[in-house]
Structure 1
Amino acid sequence: MKEMNAAMLAACLLLGAHVGANAGANAVAKAGAATKSLDDQFRAIYTQEWKWRQSQRLEDAEDDTSGIRATLPKIDAPTQLARQRYWEETLRRLDAIDEKRLSAPERINYAVYRAQIAALLDNQRFREYEKPLNADSAFWSNLTYEARKTFRTAAEYRAYVAQLNDVPRYFNDEMANMRAGLARGFTPPKVTLQGRDGSLVAVADAKPEDTAFFKPFKDMPATIPAAEQASLREAALAAIRTAVIPAHAALLKFMREQYVPGATDNLAAQRLPDGKAYYQSKIVEFTTTNLTADEIHNIGLAEMAKIRAEMAQVMKDVKFDGDLPAFLHFLRTDPRFYAKTPEELLMRAAWIAKKFDGKAEQYFGRLPRSRFAIIPVPPEQAPYYTSGRGGPGVYLVNTYNLPARALYSLPALTLHESAPGHAFQMPVALEQKGRPAFRNAYISAYGEGWALYSERLGTEMGIYETPYEVFGMLSYQAWRASRLVVDTGIHAKGWTREQAQRYLMENTALSRHEVETEVDRYISWPGQALSYYLGEMAIIDARRQAEAALGAKFDIRAFHDTVLELGSVPLPVLKARIERFIAEGGKGPY
């Protein structure tokens, strides 16, 4: 009987185990199905919204390989309100999803996408479209970027001619939005708009064939028959003559007679309509954090003190007999530190970029396929443009006012704007496969943080050959750390323009011209300047955490590849990814 009971007990245990296993398997299957269902629900939201965004001409369509549009975007007030309503509904649908139940890849996508939609919606709610310009750039100057694209077919040229004929409608809608902003005191500060109409004058007073808009037609592909080339050139000249130039002339008149005279005299974003909430929304957008203006201001002051100590060490290394203001004056005035010709500046930039190429494989496992050109900033933009700017395929170097373009700062600038900065990081992200298209949108805290980190990385890579170039890098670090102080000082603490300029002059080696243009940029573009240093701090902190945890296992190439593989993400997403990188033993993503 005991044997019978034992056998029965064994059978029952075996049956129970089988049932339990089935139940466990069923539970896992159900959980997996639920995750898949939720993933599908989330994908449906972003797929639908992205397709709609493309239809709004807010993003490049996936099937538009040329990127040449026959029309410019719709930007009138009813369209803007409709966009706000659409993103409100999108955000409502997103918040109904339990993100913790998404699969690991979709949790990253969710964090990126929700932050993106929230920023887009805030811009609509605060009617940012009623202020479509700042001291650095404007909607009309951005149009010239289209003319720099590569045109290959007659269809692309015809689409561009159609776009040129759409300029009057587009400008009229922009001016209507600007009038609405003017009426409620929502404009860039008047002082930052002085002289910014120069790029309008360059078109309004030009011959059609001398404008940037005609450039694609000067050297057309031989695959287009000569007769068709002549016809396209004639159509382009007519469009520039009858549409583009008159539109620029009308906008120039509006700027001089109405907009600039009526623009606000206030500098602070917090003095704009609903200003405190508006400035905080800019902080969230550009830093992807919930830090307050006071917290950021104090971070900036603390970081500036650290950088000043590093600067003092360089002064000792070069045996300079004097204080920091005297050293800064020496750097700003000694001819040895400045190029004599624009060509010299461009060639020095190219030489630095090639020095990076010689070191790249030691620090990166994956290099982008995309290359970049080094070209001067267009002359009509150069007087008020930043010292350089980079992105996929291009590194723009400002050759205007050479005594303001220090050669000792050029290595840091080149690393930031070309490689491994923007012209390197962006293509790496764009070349990733299997990611939703919205992941290619630029997040300033990540992108600018990486570019600033690239400047610091130059010390390890041996890019800086003299103590003066090291000081140039430190000056650029101080420039970005001081932005935390200056941006919040202007927009939240009542700083004057002169006070902000003085702070930069006393704490960086920037020329007075650069200081003046940069401060005007910060005044007219609230929050954007905060992204750089806070982003760099996040990357440096993540690296230190990884080095401490992994010890001898830490591989700098794997770390960099992991950071770059993410593409632009909010800083909390970067932090979480590096924590996983550590947990996985420091393995790279490839």
Structure 2
Amino acid sequence: MRLKPLTLALLPSLLALSLCACQPSPPAAQDNAGATTDAAATAEADAAFQALAGRWLEKSMEFSPIAATQIGDHRYDDRIDDLSQGGRKRSLEFQRKVLGELDAIDVTALSRENQVDAAILRNQLRYDIWSNETLQSWAWDPQVYSQLAGSALYGLMAREFAPLPQRLKSATARMQQIPSLFTQMRQNLDPARVPKIHAETVSRQNAGILSLVDGLIVPHAGALKGEDRKQLDAAIASLRKAVAEHQTWLDETLVPNAKGDFRIGETLYDEKLAFALNSPLSRQDIRSRVEADIERTREEMYGIARGVLAGRDDAPAQMPDAPTQEQQQQVIEAALELAYADRPARDEVVDVATRSTEEATAFVRENNLVSVPDTPVKIILMPEFQRGVAVAYCDSPGPLDKGLDTFYAVSPIPDDWSEAQVDSFLREYNTRSIHELSIHEAMPGHFLQLAHSNKYPSTLRAVLGSGPFIEGWAMYGEKVMADAGYMDNDPLMQLINRKWNLRAMANALLDQAIHVEGMSREEAMELMTVTTFQQEREAAGKWVRAQLTSAQLPTYYVGYSEHLDLRNEVEQREGEDFDLKAYHDKLLSFGSPPVRFARQLMLDEPIR
């Protein structure tokens, strides 16, 4: 999972260099008057689009200062987002205005790269307007506010993009404003629409903002002197009081009165899915592909498991060529038990993640799979306010923050878990699974892909990076490593690789089955723990995540499918001339557009 910006913003002063990287050079003198006319029309259309995109990015920064910090525009580090009725209205009016101006541009006259960026911007504008007016998560999802509150401080203090005193003064200003965000949350939320799972999750996370204060701000408070230090101390004291008051409201008002349905239903789901994926694949297409791939992957796992168990005294009695469903299940589970036995201690998960990232990086370089960035990735404990949704994520610096650290954040095992819960977790995140996790999050997954993406000169495209491209690449990277022979002498690693593929397939199926088809917890747990071999703790956490989110879980599988389709098409076209590293480097050179557009750029087809 990649940690994405909460909202959209960016520094416009760099647009002249970065907004449209591949704008055509001024045309040389030509005898062909028609070609000269076409070039002039393209230059004019490109200039109009760049100006419009610049205005959108400029104003988006103003509306979303917390995301601006994440992206690397630090002019508004002392402000937070305004989610009041007036703030939302101003944002909506602006988005409608920009969309109208974009629709007036003849996109067919744009350069190919700008045609892609225009399509991406149009989808985002329509998505933002739909989210504000139709989905209305601001009225029923308290996570909108809690994530903003935590990110407001974490984005300032996690990286050294400016001198510490400057960042502390910005943190002071934001701490002074966070209580107003709590007020907006209490004014905007309708408890009758808030799902109980959302209310309970935010209630548990609320104190996490103080862990950020105590962990990232208080230890460095001595960097401020005089009046600045007094203001910092006062802001911390006020925030502590505000968090305590907010906790009381969460526990005594929101949680007891939360009556909403976490299932968003067929209409909202299909509309959101279309915006979030920006893919030609429909919900029905995804289901058909998933079901076929689950069956095929289980067959592969059975074949690997038979090889692992052959000749062992503890092997199942029957391992026929054509097994029943029960025999297939039994044999695969027996082989997986051998992988589960090799697992770290509860306090060694981060150490194993560090070592496995180093090993994966060396393998990618040695096998010349893709160009590897020189910048390092740091493995850290996940901040408390972000725990409870995913086990790990990659947090790359924003496209405007150059030379800063990338974090591969791993959630620690909760202190209050029983030994049985810890055992379940470590069976799922055994030593080989952590290797697979490191491939996905770091090398050659999110860290590598986003490092390439941030080199692409279109900052607009970087800000509006496609979730399916990004998540799909990380999953595709797992297959690239397996195909190249990473730990090839270890069939249990091959088995774990397929199991992780099954997890992504289950994600895509779960998301639509829960939100559209009314899948129960029992049915979801069976899909995860039986059909796709996940442990109880992993499955229970995913059930919570599927209730808290929608249209994000399918991004892994959909992007992966589209990446595979594109790779296969290019391989068939190029035949013996196909070069894997050259293919990967060219694909990643496009930034992080939806795969449909990467395909059109790669194959030199019309942008549509």
TM-score if structure 2 supplies the norm length?
A: 0.81
- Is the 2:196–2:259 contact (alpha carbons within 8 Å) kept by the matching residues of 1? yes
* Residue 117 of structure 1, CA deviation: 2.0
Judged with a 3 Å threshold, the aligned counterparts in structure 2 of structure 1 residues 462 and 525 are, in CA distance, closer, same or farther, namely same
Find the aligned partners of 2:146 and 2:532 in 1 and give their Cα distance.
24
Find the aligned partners of 1:460 and 1:514 in 2 and give their Cα distance.
26
* Residue 106 of structure 1, CA deviation: 1.4
| 1:198 counterpart residue number | 204
Find the aligned partners of 1:333 and 1:467 in 2 and give their Cα distance.
11
* Equivalent position SS for 1:463: coil
Give the number of equivalent residue pairs.
537
- Is the 1:411–1:463 contact (alpha carbons within 8 Å) kept by the matching residues of 2? no
* Equivalent position SS for 1:390: strand
| 2:215 counterpart residue number | 215
Judged with a 3 Å threshold, the aligned counterparts in structure 2 of structure 1 residues 155 and 350 are, in CA distance, closer, same or farther, namely closer
* Residue 176 of structure 1, CA deviation: 2.0
- Is the 2:138–2:188 contact (alpha carbons within 8 Å) kept by the matching residues of 1? yes
| 1:367 counterpart residue number | 372
Find the aligned partners of 2:497 and 2:257 in 1 and give their Cα distance.
40
* Equivalent position SS for 1:580: coil
Find the aligned partners of 1:551 and 1:575 in 2 and give their Cα distance.
17
- Is the 2:469–2:592 contact (alpha carbons within 8 Å) kept by the matching residues of 1? yes
Judged with a 3 Å threshold, the aligned counterparts in structure 2 of structure 1 residues 25 and 38 are, in CA distance, closer, same or farther, namely same
- Is the 1:112–1:439 contact (alpha carbons within 8 Å) kept by the matching residues of 2? no
Residues 210-247 of structure 1: per-residue CA shift (max 9 Å, x gap): x32143445559xxxx78457655543321111x2222
Find the aligned partners of 1:265 and 1:330 in 2 and give their Cα distance.
43
Q: What one-letter code is carried by the residue in structure 2 that aligns with 1:514?
A: E
Residues 18-55 of structure 1: per-residue CA shift (max 9 Å, x gap): xxxx9963332222212211111111211111111112
Task: Name which of 35, 40, 44 aligns with 1:28.
Answer: 35
Q: What one-letter code is carried by the residue in structure 2 that aligns with 1:74?
A: D
Q: What one-letter code is carried by the residue in structure 1 that aligns with 2:264?
A: A
Find the aligned partners of 1:229 and 1:518 in 2 and give their Cα distance.
46
Q: What one-letter code is carried by the residue in structure 1 that aligns with 2:165?
A: A
Q: What one-letter code is carried by the residue in structure 2 that aligns with 1:473?
A: N
- Is the 2:199–2:250 contact (alpha carbons within 8 Å) kept by the matching residues of 1? no
Judged with a 3 Å threshold, the aligned counterparts in structure 2 of structure 1 residues 509 and 67 are, in CA distance, closer, same or farther, namely farther
* Residue 537 of structure 1, CA deviation: 0.7
Judged with a 3 Å threshold, the aligned counterparts in structure 2 of structure 1 residues 557 and 54 are, in CA distance, closer, same or farther, namely same
Judged with a 3 Å threshold, the aligned counterparts in structure 2 of structure 1 residues 440 and 461 are, in CA distance, closer, same or farther, namely farther
Task: Name which of 92, 97, 113 aligns with 2:100.
Answer: 92
Find the aligned partners of 2:280 and 2:596 in 1 and give their Cα distance.
11
Judged with a 3 Å threshold, the aligned counterparts in structure 2 of structure 1 residues 379 and 249 are, in CA distance, closer, same or farther, namely same
Find the aligned partners of 1:526 and 1:136 in 2 and give their Cα distance.
17
| 1:161 counterpart residue number | 172
Find the aligned partners of 1:217 and 1:100 in 2 and give their Cα distance.
51
Task: Name which of 369, 372, 377 aligns with 2:382.
Answer: 377
Q: Percent identity?
A: 18
Task: Name which of 235, 238, 242 aligns with 2:234.
Answer: 238
Task: Name which of 341, 344, 359 aligns with 1:339.
Answer: 344
Judged with a 3 Å threshold, the aligned counterparts in structure 2 of structure 1 residues 172 and 379 are, in CA distance, closer, same or farther, namely closer
Find the aligned partners of 2:48 and 2:383 in 1 and give their Cα distance.
46
1:80 aligns with 2:88: yes
Unaligned runs of 5+ in 2: 1-28, 310-314, 319-326, 397-405, 415-421
| 1:129 counterpart residue number | 138
Please list, as runs of the form range in 1=range in 2, the aligned pairs for 1:312-461 lying within 5 A after superposition. Answer: 312-319=302-309, 320-321=315-316, 323-326=327-330, 327-328=332-333, 331=336, 336-342=341-347, 344-361=348-365, 362-364=367-369, 366-379=371-384, 382=387, 384-392=388-396, 393-400=406-413, 402-403=422-423, 404=425, 405-433=429-457, 435-461=458-484
* Residue 485 of structure 1, CA deviation: 1.7
- Is the 1:71–1:162 contact (alpha carbons within 8 Å) kept by the matching residues of 2? yes
* Residue 422 of structure 1, CA deviation: 1.4
Judged with a 3 Å threshold, the aligned counterparts in structure 2 of structure 1 residues 24 and 560 are, in CA distance, closer, same or farther, namely same
Greater Cα shift, 130-139 or 445-454: 130-139
| 1:510 counterpart residue number | 534
Residues 426-474 of structure 1: per-residue CA shift (max 9 Å, x gap): 12211333x2435333321111111111111121343335222222221
Greater Cα shift, 545-554 or 314-323: 314-323
Find the aligned partners of 2:50 and 2:144 in 1 and give their Cα distance.
38
* Residue 335 of structure 1, CA deviation: 6.4
- Is the 2:208–2:384 contact (alpha carbons within 8 Å) kept by the matching residues of 1? no
What CA RMSD, in Å, does the superposition of the two structures yield over aligned residues? 3.0
Please list, as runs of the form range in 1=range in 2, the aligned pairs for 1:282-293 lying within 5 A after superposition. Answer: 282-293=272-283
Residues 365-387 of structure 1: per-residue CA shift (max 9 Å, x gap): 533343211012235654x2422
Judged with a 3 Å threshold, the aligned counterparts in structure 2 of structure 1 residues 517 and 140 are, in CA distance, closer, same or farther, namely farther
Unaligned runs of 5+ in 1: 1-21, 271-275, 582-590
1:145 aligns with 2:154: yes
| 1:50 counterpart residue number | 57
Find the aligned partners of 2:223 and 2:88 in 1 and give their Cα distance.
42
Greater Cα shift, 23-32 or 514-523: 23-32
Residues 277-318 of structure 1: per-residue CA shift (max 9 Å, x gap): 321222112221254433322222112111111111121121
Find the aligned partners of 2:445 and 2:580 in 1 and give their Cα distance.
16
| 2:14 counterpart residue number | none
Q: What one-letter code is carried by the residue in structure 1 that aligns with 2:237?
A: R
Find the aligned partners of 2:333 and 2:45 in 1 and give their Cα distance.
58
Find the aligned partners of 2:112 and 2:465 in 1 and give their Cα distance.
22
Find the aligned partners of 2:576 and 2:340 in 1 and give their Cα distance.
46
Find the aligned partners of 1:387 and 1:568 in 2 and give their Cα distance.
23
* Residue 389 of structure 1, CA deviation: 0.9
The structure whose RCO (Cα within 8 Å, separation 6+) is larger is 2
- Is the 2:49–2:105 contact (alpha carbons within 8 Å) kept by the matching residues of 1? yes
Residues 137-195 of structure 1: per-residue CA shift (max 9 Å, x gap): 8444434523323252422221111111111112211222223xx35x2x3x3245445
Judged with a 3 Å threshold, the aligned counterparts in structure 2 of structure 1 residues 333 and 367 are, in CA distance, closer, same or farther, namely closer
| 2:558 counterpart residue number | 534
1:302 aligns with 2:311: no
1:173 aligns with 2:184: yes
* Equivalent position SS for 1:198: helix
Residues 315-344 of structure 1: per-residue CA shift (max 9 Å, x gap): 1121142745444377469862321132x2
1:256 aligns with 2:251: yes
* Equivalent position SS for 2:393: strand
Find the aligned partners of 1:293 and 1:227 in 2 and give their Cα distance.
53
Q: What one-letter code is carried by the residue in structure 1 that aligns with 2:173?
A: A
Greater Cα shift, 553-562 or 296-305: 296-305
TM-score if structure 1 supplies the norm length?
A: 0.83
